[in-house]
Structure 1
């Protein structure tokens, strides 16, 4: 089970960039747009089985500003 921590405040359809935490609190899931820019991917040097997503700064900033 995942718990939503924060999402894009400008989201209109409910399927926007979002930060989730696992039920056990052992990790995070980041929902965002797939990074497909060849230059960015080359700089990341991702190993097999990993991918990268872009998340607007507002999503993470909202989480860190929130009272928890």
Structure 2
């Protein structure tokens, strides 16, 4: 069974609660990033993602909030 997730930080400009968010497990062994799907083919080609992986765009404010809280 996977470890439960807890919200670590989110987009401060979010109005509806369904915005880019950083999640982590209680044991701090994994992080999950919720973000906007990348649909730009040129951008996706730069990433050269292997089968089974994906990438999302997350506003800098989400990660800045997390690191600010940890600091």
TM range (shorter): over 0.9
- Equivalent-residue separation in structure 2 for 1:21 and 1:65 (angstroms): 16
Structure 2: how far apart are the matches of 1:44 and 1:33? 15
Query: Which residues of structure 1 form unaligned runs of 5+?
Result: none
Asked whether 1:27 is paired with 2:5, we answer no
User: Would you say how many aligned residue pairs link Structure 1 and Structure 2?
Assistant: 68
- Aligned twin of 2:47: 44
Stretches of 4+ moved more than 2 A in 1?
none
Structure 2: gaps spanning 5 or more residues? none
> What is the TM-score of this pair, normalised by structure 2?
0.89
